[in-house]
Amino acid sequence: MRNKGTLKKDIRLSGIGIHTGQEVALCLKPSSSGEIIFRRTDLDNLEVNLNPQYVRVKNSTYLESQGCRIQTLEHLLAVLYVFGIDSVVVEMNGDEIPIMDGSAAPFAEAVQEAGIEHLPEERVSLQILKPYQVKQKDASLSFTPDSDFIITYCIEYDHPLIQKQELSVSVNVESFVTEIAPARTFGFLKDVPSLRARDLALGGSLDNAVVLDDEGLLGGTLRFPDEFVRHKILDLIGDLSLLKSPLSGHFKANRAGHDLHLKTVHFLLNNPEFIGVRL
């Protein structure tokens, strides 16, 4: 087993929340608590522990407890998971993690620069014990035993730049930093009015998202030809991190999203015969 980890020094970042459109200052602080704790400095330092029972989904993954909300967790959680940081205080003066450039790369770069401190407490690793498939309409997320943590993701959109994309990645620090973290969130121009009518994507722009019209890309270039499916893998890593332990298993997602990711997390938490401690 590996030991739990925290940061060697504070990380300070700021940016716009993609859904709220509000500027948020973020400070990640070293901690020996063994937990990921969110502290709202705008709410008298109210603290909320990361607990999957309090996590909800609405176009992103968010935590809601004690009357406060922490939105758009998935990119930051993916970085903390991959780098083995499970003991940290995340201070913020708003209710949404900054979207940065739409990817997890700024968070990953900041963690690499800060460095990781190993704690005396050991981390419990989990492994998939037997296969199962979680379904939701025409989407599915299955898992099978494997000695590594592998994600295979397949998406299909009726758009010339996407169509059908599939990618399989063995998740580790190197593959994450080079192949997954730089992939940005994406959306369609035609969906913007309905999203904003629901107070979503108020901070979305070409600076923090890949935006598509009916024919192609609005401004800029893709970082990868299959950047879209790579970003879906990023989201799934962040959502699976809610299991709060290193994972071994092969997860295969088809047309999935945050709803199905979270449904799978709860299935595993409620059905321990499918997942156990890795010795």
Q: Of residues 19, 75, 258, 261, which has the active-site annotation?
A: 258
Q: Cα 129 to the chain's mean position, in Å? A: 24
Q: How far apart are CA 168 and CA 229, in angstroms?
A: 10
**Type and span of the H or E element at 195:** helix 192-197
Left (φ > 0), alpha (ψ -120 to 50) or beta: where does 21 sit?
A: left
Q: What angle do CA 269, 167, 104 make, to 5 degrees?
A: 70
Query: Tokens 């968070």 label which residue?
Result: 107
DSSP 8-state assignment for residue 214: S
CA 22/CA 206 separation, integer angstroms? 16
- Annotation says 118 is catalytic: no
Q: How far apart are CA 261 and CA 96, in angstroms?
A: 20
Specify the residue for token string 């904003």: 196
> Could you list the active site residues?
258
